[in-house]
Amino acid sequence: MKVARRHFLNLLIIFGFGLIPAVISQFFTEKPTSRHIHIRSFRYGKDPYVIRCNRGDTLKLTFSTDDTGHSFFLEEFDIDVKISPSINEVSVFKTSDPTANPILTKEITLIARHPGIYNYIVSRSNYRCHVWCGPMHAFEQGKLIILPDTLLTFSLGSLIGILFIWLVSIFKNINTKDRISDEKSGYKDLLKGSGFLRGIVISRYTQAALTLITMVMIYIVILTSVFGTKVSGRNLGVLLMWAIWLFALVALITPFFGRFWCTICPLPFFGDLIQRKSFFNPLKGKTKKYNNKFSGLFLKWPEWLKNDWLRLIVFLLLATFSTTLVATPIVSGLAVLMLMIVPTLMSGIWELRSFCRYVCPVSVFVGPFSRMSTLSLRNKSQEVCDQCKPQYCENGNTRGWACPYGLNVGKIRENSDCGLCLECLRSCTYNNVSLYTRPIASENGTRSLSEAWMTMATFTIAIIYSILYLGPWPVVRDYVNILDKQNWGLFGIYSLIMWTLVLIIVPGIVYLLSLFGTRIAKTNYNVRELFLINAGSFLPFSLLNWIAFVIPMLFVNVTFIKQSFSDPFGWGWDFFGTANTPWHQFLPQYIPWFQAIAVLTGLLLSLRNIRKSGIAKGLNPEQILKINLPMCLFLTSVAVAMLFFFTN
């Protein structure tokens, strides 16, 4: 109760800090004026890509196109202006009723004012293209900023509130409980006293049923991507992957349920089947040190590859070609097919789930970020594990398979490696394994350099993707356009910049910040130790930036998802009568607010975690402040930049 009250009070303080500049900014509204703006459309952008005006301004807009047909779709103002290269006039449709006869005109007038309360809280709207104009059509957008920017001033004020709370929390009396590194502090046994829930969780049928659903989904993705329409925004496979699955994984599954995706992931299914020769229960027998009979060569994974570097490289390769994957359905489908084939082949050669442990690009995301989750699998009693000789969780028995990730539950201190396959809940005859709920973002730091690099890579990619896909700058998209513009030279530069940022520049910055931290604080931390902690402090901020990135990916595409379910291949079918639903975005006015809240929450949690690391290390408040100050300034600067990016 005390904790809840403290959180509520902190929220009030942050809100208060935000409210003051937001209210003050309302008194600095400039007098409305009239502006004439000509908007040029082209593959893939608008010029100007930013329109800034004052509340109440009259905007007289004219249009032209450099190449093919485009549109100027501004849902918040109920206009969709279709621009054609062959005629001087434009057709103005209503987004609320696209079937109504359009108005033919050369100029439209728009008053920069929203109805009711929205006039004060909505400052940013995106104008998009709603005429398919090429493979990168989905990214053609610009932004209309109506000043004063209430959200920006509110967010920057809130950010100062967060820094204020952070400083106060460093200097207030340190709770001695925080000094004791109780790994299970705040953990609650989810399965305690509930035989029913435990039964459902460990039932192989529950897991098999859920895996069957994801298996069907993955086949739909492959079939519709490969054989369906080439228009990615209308291709069910692309939308299932990059809008629904990505949103669910990033914003729902990983933060709350950790690696639950791995529990029901269809990718290792056939590999497991090849090794186990059984759908469900383990076969009696012995393979190497394991108490289960496994088939295949079952070789040990090479020692020098037992780290995170290989999967990081696979992840970066896919990230480099992300535009091609998203914009070309067949490439997306073939990539997913490869992700089905490779683990299956690998399981015939190497023991257990080698693909999951060392190669899977998805695990680069779900591994580190599962450490933020409110769900974790741990033992109940360390003492029981310490005295356990057979170690069934690791070696298996007739009730459960040997841990496919090579883990011993008695040694698990972090969520990253455990694929939540639930086998140990079945195999531990001492009933010493359970699932726990715990506060969000409970784990700090990183364990190794490869894990640190992986964490920083996901952070950097979130920022790069946001700029690339959500930014208004057409020139940036030209750097990744190897589709219809064949910009291979620019793509080479982009790839070089991306890999250098991920592998050298961001880690280099964090190393320097760690060096400064140790120098100014004069503590017993060494630079490497602080570097690993600082890399881990990215996790909450990084995850929340990913969430800010995926929100529009889903919200903008909701109607297209409905259309595509009704016509999965884009062949003119209409199963559910929704194939021709007019395009509407979901809550477009609120998207920048959700994004700003995500960035601020990430900063709050990251700062909290670096403070906690200092407390656990036994530092005094002054040392905590000094050692964390460089990292705090860096995270705050990035947060300010992202707030400007998402709200202005």
Binding status of residue 554 toward ligand SF4 by CB under 6 A: no
Binding status of residue 388 toward ligand SF4 by CB under 6 A: yes
The residue type at 282 = P
Contact region with ligand SF4 (CB under 6 A), list: 408-416, 438-446, 494-502, 633-641 = 408-416
Site for ligand SF4 in 63-92 (CB under 6 A): none
**C-alpha distances out from residue 618 to 77, 180, 268, 597, 615, Å:** 56, 9, 43, 32, 5
- Considering beta carbons, is residue 132 or 430 the nearer one to ligand SF4? 430
Binding status of residue 246 toward ligand SF4 by CB under 6 A: no
What residues contact residue 455 under an 8 Å CB cut-off, 6+ apart?
368, 446, 535, 536, 538, 539, 542
Binding status of residue 462 toward ligand SF4 by CB under 6 A: no
Structural contact between residues 178 and 439, judged by C-beta atoms closer than 8 angstroms = no
The torsion angles phi and psi of 170, rounded to 5 degrees, stand at -70, -40
In eight-state DSSP terms, residue 479 is T
Name residue, tokens 């809008």.
243
What residues contact residue 497 under an 8 Å CB cut-off, 6+ apart?
none
- Considering beta carbons, is residue 261 or 634 the nearer one to ligand SF4? 261
State how far the Cα of 76 lies from the Cα of 81, in Å rounded to an integer.
13
3-state SS, residue 410: helix
**C-beta of 395: minimal distance to ligand SF4 in Å?**
8
- Considering beta carbons, is residue 90 or 314 the nearer one to ligand SF4? 314
What residues contact residue 390 under an 8 Å CB cut-off, 6+ apart?
291, 397, 429
Contact region with ligand SF4 (CB under 6 A), list: 31-39, 258-266, 561-569, 617-625 = 258-266
- The edge-to-edge listing of strands for the beta sheet with 90-93 is 50-54, 141-147, 124-128, 70-74, 79-83, 90-93, 103-105
- Considering beta carbons, is residue 48 or 390 the nearer one to ligand SF4? 390
Measuring CA to CA, which residue among 421, 412, 4 is closest to residue 184? 412
Binding status of residue 391 toward ligand SF4 by CB under 6 A: yes
State how far the Cα of 63 lies from the Cα of 69, in Å rounded to an integer.
11
Binding status of residue 428 toward ligand SF4 by CB under 6 A: yes
Binding status of residue 314 toward ligand SF4 by CB under 6 A: no
Binding status of residue 424 toward ligand SF4 by CB under 6 A: yes
- Considering beta carbons, is residue 336 or 403 the nearer one to ligand SF4? 403
**C-beta of 286: minimal distance to ligand SF4 in Å?**
17
Binding status of residue 221 toward ligand SF4 by CB under 6 A: no
- Considering beta carbons, is residue 44 or 315 the nearer one to ligand SF4? 315
State how far the Cα of 369 lies from the Cα of 120, in Å rounded to an integer.
36
- Considering beta carbons, is residue 428 or 599 the nearer one to ligand SF4? 428
Using CB under 6 A, pick the residue from 161, 268, 368, 474 that binds ligand SF4: 268
State how far the Cα of 247 lies from the Cα of 553, in Å rounded to an integer.
8
Binding status of residue 262 toward ligand SF4 by CB under 6 A: yes
Binding status of residue 569 toward ligand SF4 by CB under 6 A: no
The residue type at 166 = W
**C-beta of 472: minimal distance to ligand SF4 in Å?**
33
**C-beta of 407: minimal distance to ligand SF4 in Å?**
4
Name residue, tokens 């033919």.
104
- Considering beta carbons, is residue 261 or 560 the nearer one to ligand SF4? 261
Binding status of residue 271 toward ligand SF4 by CB under 6 A: no
3-state helix, strand, coil in the chain (%, to 5): 55, 10, 35
- Locate all alpha helices (DSSP H) within 203-266, ordered by sequence: 204-227, 236-239, 246-247, 254-257, 260-264
**C-beta of 13: minimal distance to ligand SF4 in Å?**
40
Binding status of residue 224 toward ligand SF4 by CB under 6 A: no
Binding status of residue 419 toward ligand SF4 by CB under 6 A: yes
User: Which residues are bridge partners to 73 per DSSP?
Assistant: 80, 128
Structural contact between residues 92 and 38, judged by C-beta atoms closer than 8 angstroms = no
Contact region with ligand SF4 (CB under 6 A), list: 94-102, 250-258, 400-408, 588-596 = 400-408
Half-sphere exposure of 158 (CA within 13 A, CB side): 27
Contact region with ligand SF4 (CB under 6 A), list: 14-22, 243-251, 414-422, 486-494 = 414-422
Bond from prior residue into 85 cis (ω within 30 degrees of 0): no
- Considering beta carbons, is residue 58 or 382 the nearer one to ligand SF4? 382
Residues in contact with ligand SF4, counted by CB under 6 A, come to a total of 35
**C-beta of 363: minimal distance to ligand SF4 in Å?**
4
Binding status of residue 405 toward ligand SF4 by CB under 6 A: yes
Using CB under 6 A, pick the residue from 65, 320, 432, 537 that binds ligand SF4: 432
Cβ atoms within 10 A of the Cβ of 380, count? 19
Binding status of residue 337 toward ligand SF4 by CB under 6 A: no
**C-beta of 612: minimal distance to ligand SF4 in Å?**
25
- Considering beta carbons, is residue 221 or 418 the nearer one to ligand SF4? 418
Using CB under 6 A, pick the residue from 122, 393, 457, 643 that binds ligand SF4: 393
Structural contact between residues 555 and 587, judged by C-beta atoms closer than 8 angstroms = yes
**C-beta of 435: minimal distance to ligand SF4 in Å?**
9
CA dihedral 510, 515, 519, 520 (to 10 degrees): -10
Residue 354-383 contact track with ligand SF4, rule CB under 6 A, x = bound? --x---x-xx-------------x-x----
State how far the Cα of 546 lies from the Cα of 319, in Å rounded to an integer.
14
Binding status of residue 350 toward ligand SF4 by CB under 6 A: no
- Residues lying near ligand SF4 in the complex (CB under 6 A) are found at 261-262, 265, 267-268, 343, 356, 360, 362-363, 377, 379, 384-385, 388, 391-393, 403, 405, 407-410, 418-424, 428, 430, 432-433
